[in-house]
Structure 1
Amino acid sequence: MMAMKLLATLVLLISIGEIYSKTLLEKIQDDSDLSQFADLVERDPGIVSLFKYRSLTIFAPTNQAFQRYPDLKANVLYHILNTPNKLESLKAEMFTDMEGNPPIYITRKRSANGEEMYVNNAMILKSRSNVELKNEQGKKQVLHVIDDILVPLTTNQGSSDIYNPDALQFLTNANTFNIGSHRVRSFYQRVVISKKEQLYSADGFHTFFIPVEEGFKPPPRPDLIDKKVIDGHVIPNHVIFTSSAPLDQPFETEAFEDNLKVTATFFTQNDGKSSKTYVKSNTVVGDAKHTAGVVLAEVVLGNIPVKNGVVHLIHRPLMVVDTTVAKFLEMMERRHYHYSSKERVNKEKEDGPLFKFYEVIMDVGGEFMQAINSMRDVTLFAPSNEAWNRPEVRNILANKQKMREILNLHLVSERYSAEKIRSNNNQIIQVPTNVDKKFLYFNVMNQGDEKTITVEGSGVNATIIQSDIAATNGFVHIIDHVLGVPYTSVLEKLQSDPMLNDTLWLGTRNRFNDQLNATSARYTYFVPRDKAWRSLENEFPSVYKKLFMPDFSYHANSILERHLIVSDRIFTMGDLKNMSITTDALILTPVRDQLKIRVTEHDKRYSITWNNKKINVFRSDVICTNGIIHVIDRPFIEESDIRVSYSTATTFNVYQLPSLITSLVLFASTYFLY
């Protein structure tokens, strides 16, 4: 028995010895998920000798990374450092073993899961990294596994060799580098004319944006590229690759100074199938030559490492505002040949974060574009590509008449920048749209240091996800929902609208709101906004106090029932106005009582006359999936509703029963105890 134990221990020790005697090359060869990288190493005897005789650090891409780019010939030496570096000792810039020793860049990024680390555009898989072993010569070697292939800047076959160029050398000799069909001659000429070469040759770590040739059309555009515009294409002292970019975080550009302030921000746009990366310049403070506002540019070839940072090729110049809103939309639909940074092949792609919006416009008819062109001042709230993929939106795309109204709901004949909306947040902004009697309503919400703007149209709330895209005649704001196409129930609308909090709270206490999520009925709900309840407090202080006291919560249900109609149809304000024409008092049947009203219209706004009181309809026809809401400026309530009709002395309400039983039990317990 003892001999068997000794034998087992010996086998175990031999196995452990074999594990710890593995070299780094053997470790990679034995890892099935690194087999394609191992195969590239094994094919090159010179690289194998590096593993045998030298200290080094290896960044090994997974097989999945290679499978995404089957035609890419990876340069193994660009994945090797000639010193052993664990994660904690990696510097911001490290020099590789590739000819010319071009650098790779290390980025540390905070995330919800702690610190993430990237090398160029590849994430370091920390759980599989920091593997430190020794080779046969006793030299230390370190392995880090990454999720993408590192792609150096290389010259075309047959071109003169330029090793480790800086951004200016790249710009000067762009036609000799492996960047596909892209050309940057026009931008280079503007850099030379403006004598800004030093900006691109500066030492340090910077991010450079270079617009490609096709972005310089139409012809007047090149003349708008002056020194300040060129400065706006450089983020100093930050090397930003697209994967590790802090999305939606503005960075100051070289054009950020006393009288002109320009930032650059990375963001992504998802259309449900793929994600594209964009950069936007925001001229926060403009001057006579440089218009305030945002200019979008797609990154058509990104993450090009150079000696002094990283270069991103973009499809048009930043900062230049030279198109109308209509022309901007037309550009969003254009298709062009796009050159992928990894696949190194040409492929057709759909361009722009609003191409689906433009497709809908063209499908419905040209009237909408004519309306935009006829306006001197325009603000367009344009749904993103992803917004058009929602099922409720797809279901109505074939209804061209409805879609025309929906499109016009997104159009305002006045200029509204995000700053203008925010500055008016102390008062409710009600903006007329291109649809008769339809308005947009804005709300500004504080989320940390950010102020998020929401816009509502016909009951649909959308968030502005990209604001202030500047045009010569106005602004475009990209929103995350299509206005006018409901996706929330009556209850969900109450829960999401900050203007209706008091009515929501009153209906919550005795479960009145539970019914408002049902899909079996159609609701018409006259909802007093918060300001309406404040007005009631001034008019009938005791009524307001009792209504909002927990002990009198049963009154709230009775009052709210007077505001709710449950039927097999909904009643728009237009319906109610037309029904009022033929009678002095239109009688509606809500859940409780009868509602005798008269609806009139003045200056494109509705009002309701009830009990000789004229009540303004602040928002009409808020469409929901199971009904409609009309937001009103005064509740249907009189002082006698609570003081007399619903006094606890004359009325017993079933909601009082639990508290009454509790009181009796406590009384009985006390009585019998003593």
Structure 2
Amino acid sequence: MIEHHRRRLSASAALLLLCCCCWASTAAGAELADKLRDDTELSQSTAKTFRRIMPVRFYSLLEQNPVANSTLSLRSCTIFVPTNEAFQRHRGSTHVLYHIITVALSKDQLPKTVSSDMDGNPPLYITKNRNGDVYVNNARIIPSLTVELTNREGKRQVMHIIDEVLEPLTTLPTAKPDAITNPDAYQFLQQADLLNIGDNRVRTYRSQVALMKKETIYSAPGTHTFLLPVDEGFKLSTRSSLVDAKVIDGHVIPNTVIFTAASQHDEPKTSAAFEDLLKVTVSFFKQKDGKMYVKSNTIIGDAKHPQGVVLAEIVKANIPVRNGVVHLIHRPLMIIDTTVTQFLQKNFGCNSFKFLNDNENGALRKFYEVIMDNGGAVLDDINNLAEVTILAPSNDAWNASSINNIVRDRKKMSEILNMHIIKERLNVEKIRQKNANMIAQVPTVNNRTFLYFNVRGEGSDAVITVEGGGVNATVVQADVAQTNGFVHIIDRVLGVPHTTVLGKLESDPMMSDTYKMGHFSNFNDQLNNTQRRYTFFVPRDKGWQKTELDYPSAHKKLFMRDFAYHSKAILERHLVIADRVFTIKDLAQMSLVSDTVLLPTFRDSLKIKVEEEAGHLHDEYASHEWTGYVIIWNYKKINVYRPDVECTNGIIHVIDYPLLEEKDIVVSGGSYLTESSICIMLANLIMITVAKFLN
């Protein structure tokens, strides 16, 4: 039989088959090694691969277990065999019979739940995800290493190689042998002190479940996911009293078993607290440091359950029970009982909060460190605000090399930190409302600085970006709710430029028309030059749309490739090239000294004046008073919509209208030319005439 399979299988598969046949007999580990070493048909590299995939430790465990030996010799079965790397990562005992089921099933034949051969027959849960991967509990089946054969009794057997050791729920050594076998989630909750779950305790949450008479949700048959907060998450004395029946429902995902490795990250699942007047979803996600988190999102709340996201780290994951899987989390979901300041402070503090310090908000540790290194005044300012929203850069965001140059500059860092603070409660829904007709413009605590939000997509696929001080950041975790506001975690530090003028022009949705015009006219080619310093007055898209109403024919031609030369000439008027940049404050101060500020451009110069002007942000946001700036050019006032967008090689001032007038456009043979382009064309014509005369 072995020779027959060797002809049909690859060398690697033949080796696996040989191993299975050795299992069926009672060959010792040394004899098995001899067989592998002496088999001349197997290359050295294949043998190494085999030894990596099929550790001797698992062989010996099989050999030492009489039930496993009997099954392999006499019965059909499926065996899930962990790789060598899986054993190296594994801590604790390995339960061989939990890796065996007494029916032969290929990967495609595996149902959602199968019973293991371990005492009590605790279930194994099968997950098939969108990528085609198949998981047994939290272990992925490696499809290329599956082997099927028939043993000497004619029974079909299947071996799947998996990347994790399967861990059943077991009791502590001090518990009675028959204390608990194959418990459901309610029995787990009731007898957790007898179970092997480390130092974690769930007594506080258990008492609330009993008080709210919610035992049946944990004992319900079927396959569910249960999230249980551990006692350390109730250090705040009032928190346990907030765990009511709806909060308990929010910790259960019915009719779905979710193991962390098999989960689709950031895919909201309907919790048991999802009804007409209250809608709560739960999702899993993983940080770059490898830590797994779960978050509740109260989409529709009520007086007791406010809207927003609550994050909790999973402190012990993937505990299989008879009716699903349990994950222990470090704090309860849905409960919003800390201020924004307290949320940030939980990175540090007294020893009594050590557990919370390590887990509550580790993703923002560096943000808090920068605040404290800068004197902590920013935190005091946040604490004094009745309503506040924080755009908090993640830990990874602070690793950018551009930040190292300014992190010790307290004045600059204070401005940057204040740029991340908004004096109102601003969740995603409110951002979406403000973004309905235009890019939302929101003032920050930093004097005269605004943030610009943009929302693309709908629902869970929506992407929210925010721009501040020349930096475009993406919101990677929105709506982390606190009692006095929200925290949104972003992937960059605002106000610390990391791209050139060209990069900013290309990526900012408000400047797309200027970018398009500069692209087909080759004007943009110079904007990546880091040896120059640019001050670029960029008309926003809405400004170009106004010119379409004022000069429809001219606007049409300015965006046509056939008229690229003239488009370039107009853009060159907007670009100041000097040995320094000119902030809007610089220009305003220069305008106080001289009635006209003369700025060098590529061809000649730009004459402007900049003045401060008080007003309102927008009609729809009339409550936001502000002091802005206007450019006076050729007796025309043009509002500066976004001043001082910093770039690595210059600065951009986004303006409401291009530096363009009707007299700039001359009709000549159907073409529209600027005064400067006409002069250039005349000069070229004279040069051509002179050249012909000299020849």
* SS of structure 1 residue aligned to 2:291: strand
Equivalent of 2:255 in 224, 228, 237: 237
1:166 equivalenced with 2:184 (yes/no): yes
The residue correspondences of 1:255-654 to structure 2 (distance < 5 A) are 255-270=273-288, 274-333=289-348, 352-425=362-435, 426-446=437-457, 450-603=461-614, 604-643=627-666, 646=674, 652=681
CA positional deviation for 1:297: 0.7
Q: Distance in 2 between matches of 1:206 and 1:471?
A: 29
For 2:629 and 2:207, how far apart are their aligned partners in 1?
Answer: 60
1:533 shift after superposition: 0.6
Q: Tell me the residue number matched to 1:122.
A: 139
Matched letter for residue 295 of structure 1: V
Distance 1:227 1:349, change over 3 A: closer
Q: 2:390 corresponds to which letter in structure 1?
A: L
Query: Matched residue of 2:133: which SS?
Result: strand
Which residue of structure 1 aligns with residue 150 of structure 2? Answer: 134
- Identical aligned pairs, as a percentage? 52
Offset at residue 427 of structure 1 (A): 2.9
Q: Report if the CA contact (8 A) 1:335-1:351 is conserved.
A: no
Gaps of 5+ in 1: 1-10, 341-346, 657-674
Code of the aligned partner of 1:120: N
Amino acid in the other structure paired with 1:118: Y
In the alignment, is the contact (CA less than 8 A) between 2:200 and 2:231 conserved in 1? yes
Q: Deviations over 1:401-453 (max 9, x none)?
A: 32221111100011111001111211332111111111001111127972211
Residue 226 of structure 2 is aligned to residue 208 of structure 1: yes
Deviations 1:117-142 (A, max 9, x none): 1111111111212x101222222110
CA distance in 1, matches of 2:197, 2:361: 19
Where do 1:5-84 residues align within 5 Å? 16=7, 19=14, 22=18, 24=20, 26=22, 31-33=50-52, 34-35=54-55, 36-69=57-90, 71-84=91-104
The change in CA–CA distance for 1:44 and 1:348 in structure 2 (over 3 A counts) is: farther
SS of residue paired to 1:294: strand
Answer whether contact 1:330 1:358 (CA < 8 A) is retained: yes
Secondary structure, aligned partner of 2:270: strand
Q: Distance in 1 between matches of 2:408 and 2:66?
A: 63
- How far does residue 487 in structure 1 lie from its aligned partner after superposition? 1.5
Q: Note the C-alpha offset of 1:350.
A: 8.9
Q: Is the 8 A contact 1:379 1:414 kept in 2?
A: yes
Q: Secondary structure at the match of 1:275?
A: coil
- The match for 2:241 among 218, 223, 229 is 223
Distance 2:575 2:61 in 1: 72
Question: Which residue of the partner structure matches residue 42 of structure 2?
Answer: none
CA distance in 1 between partners of 2:424 and 2:70 (Å): 70
AA in 1 matched with 2:285 = F
Q: Does 1:155 align with 2:171?
A: yes
**Residues 623/15 of structure 1: CA separation in 2 closer, same or farther (3 Å cut):** closer
Match of 2:27 in 1: none
Q: Which residue, out of 122, 142, 147, partners 1:102? A: 122
The answer (yes or no) to whether the contact 1:124–1:144 under 8 Å persists in 2 is yes
Number of equivalences:
632
TM-score (norm 2): 0.86
Conservation of the 8 A alpha-carbon contact between 2:343 and 2:361: no
Residue by residue over 1:316-335, the C-alpha shift from the partner in whole angstroms, topping out at 9 and shown as x without a partner, is: 01111111111111124469
CA distance in 2: counterparts of 1:241 and 1:32, whole angstroms: 28
CA distance in 1, matches of 2:242, 2:389: 24
8 Å CA contact 1:379, 1:475 repeated in 2:
yes
- TM-score by structure 1 length? 0.89
Q: Deviations over 1:330-366 (max 9, x none)?
A: 12446999999xxxxxx98895221221122222221
- CA shift, 1:653, in A, is 9.2
Q: Which residue number in structure 2 is paired with residue 664 of structure 1?
A: none
Residue identity opposite 1:83 in structure 2: V
Aligned in 2, Cα 1:142/1:421: closer, same or farther, shift over 3 Å? same
Change (3 A) 1:237 1:14: closer
**Residues 267 and 278 in structure 1, CA contact (< 8 A), matched pair in contact too:** yes
Q: How large is the Cα RMSD of the aligned pairs?
A: 2.7
3-state SS in 2 of match to 1:591: coil
Tell me, what secondary structure is at the counterpart of 2:417?
helix
The CA deviation string for residues 220-261 of structure 1, in whole angstroms up to 9 with x for no partner, is 111111111111110000000111111111111111111111
5+ long unaligned stretches in structure 2:
24-31, 37-49, 615-626, 668-672, 686-695
Distance 2:441 2:6 in 1: 76
Is contact 2:312-2:360 (8 Å) kept?
no
Cα deviation, residue 72, structure 1: 2.8
